[in-house]
Amino acid sequence: MAPCTWRFSFLPFISLLLSALFLGGCPPSVGLPGAANVSTERMGGGSQIISFSESTPYAAVASFAGSHYAGTTQGLLQFDPHQEGAQVVKALAGKGIRGISAESTTGLWVATAAGLHRLNKEEWTAFKLPASLGGASSAMLATREGLWVGGTRGLGFRDKKGGWKTYLPGARITYLLEDIQSGGVWAATDGEGIYHYEMGQFVAHALAKGQLLQRVRCLTYTPDGGVLAVGQSAQGERLTFFDGRFWNTYRALPEGVLSWVQMVGQDLYLGHGHGVFNLHRMM
C-alpha cells in the first residue's frame, strides 16, 4: 500500500513533499496516531549576519555569565552579539574546540582534542576525559546534575563530585538533548539511531520502536513537547517525530541533506540543503 503523502511549500516557490512512513502501511495500524502535517516558510530578506571571519569554521556557540562564546578550530572566542569583533580566550588559544555547553551553577564547559575545560568564577580548570570515550565529539550537555560528554566511542557522564560513568560503548555520539520531563537525556548517534536514558539505563529507539533513522544529526523539542530528529535512514534523508508514544517518519522532496533542526522560542527551524526553513505543524 502506498504511503500517505502531504504537500507543502517552501515560500515563495520551492515545494516540499512529506511522506509519512509507517511499518504497518497507510492508513496506520490500530493504535498509531495519524501523522501531523508540516508546512515551511523560507527565511530571507532583511536579516543581517555579523561574521568574525569568512573562513573560520565554528563548532559550537554558548552563552554564559553575560557573554557569548564560539568554538573554532583555532580556539575559543568571547563576544557580544550586539557588537562587532571578538576576543580570543587566552587559556584555550590554539586548541581546536569540539563542543561547548553552559549551565548557570556548574559553569561553561569546553571540550577540545586534549580534554575538558571549565570556566567557573572567572577561572579555567582542565580535566581529563575517560580514555574509553575515544576523545570528545561535538555533543555536550551541562545540567544541574552534571555533564554529559559525547565521544567517538561512547558517552560519558561526570557528576558534581568529579566521578565518571560511561555508557553506549563504541557508539559515536552526535547530539544530546536534555529530557525536560524525566531529567534524563536523549542521545543521537551516527549509525545506531537514538537512545533515551530512563530508569538508570539507556533504551534504544530504533527499528523495533518504529524509529527509522540510523545516522542521526540533531534532536530538538517541538512546541507541544514532542521530539523531532533529522538524519539518514536506509531509505535516505528523513525527519522523525516522537509524540511520547510512537515515532512517525517523514520524507522531504526535493531531496536534500537535513543538516539540523532547532526550536527557538516557539518556532521550529530546519536546515535543508542550502536553505533555512520555518516548520509549522498542521493539526
Unique residue bearing C-alpha cell 515545494: 15
Percentage with pLDDT > 70 across the chain: 77
CA distance 79 to 163: 32
pLDDT confidence bin for 60, thresholds 50/70/90: confident
Closest CA to 242 of 216, 281, 205, 268: 205
Instruction: State pLDDT tens for residues 19-48.
Output: 333 322 222 222 223 333 344 444 444 444
Residue 119 contacts residue 111 (beta carbons within 8 Å): no
Say if pTM beats, i.e. exceeds, 0.85: no
Structural contact between residues 107 and 67, judged by C-beta atoms closer than 8 angstroms: no
Spatial separation of the C-alpha atoms in residues 16 and 252, rounded to whole Å: 6
Answer yes or no: is pLDDT of 118 > 60. Answer: yes
**Range of weakest confidence among 30-39, 131-140, 175-184, 211-220:** 30-39
Name, in order, each residue with C-beta under 8 angstroms of 206's C-beta and a sequence gap of 6 or more. Answer: 192, 193, 194, 214
19 neighbors 4 (Cβ within 8 angstroms) = yes
Mean pLDDT for 152-172 is 95
| DSSP per-residue letters across 108-143 | EEEEETTEEEEEETTEEEEEPPPGGG-SEEEEEEE-
If pLDDT is split at 50, 70 and 90, which confidence band does 267 have?
confident
So what's the pLDDT on residue 264? 82
pLDDT digits (tens, 9 = 90+) for 80-117: 877 777 888 999 988 889 999 998 888 899 999 889 99
Q: CA gyration radius for the chain? A: 20
**In which residue are the cell numbers 563548532 written?**
59
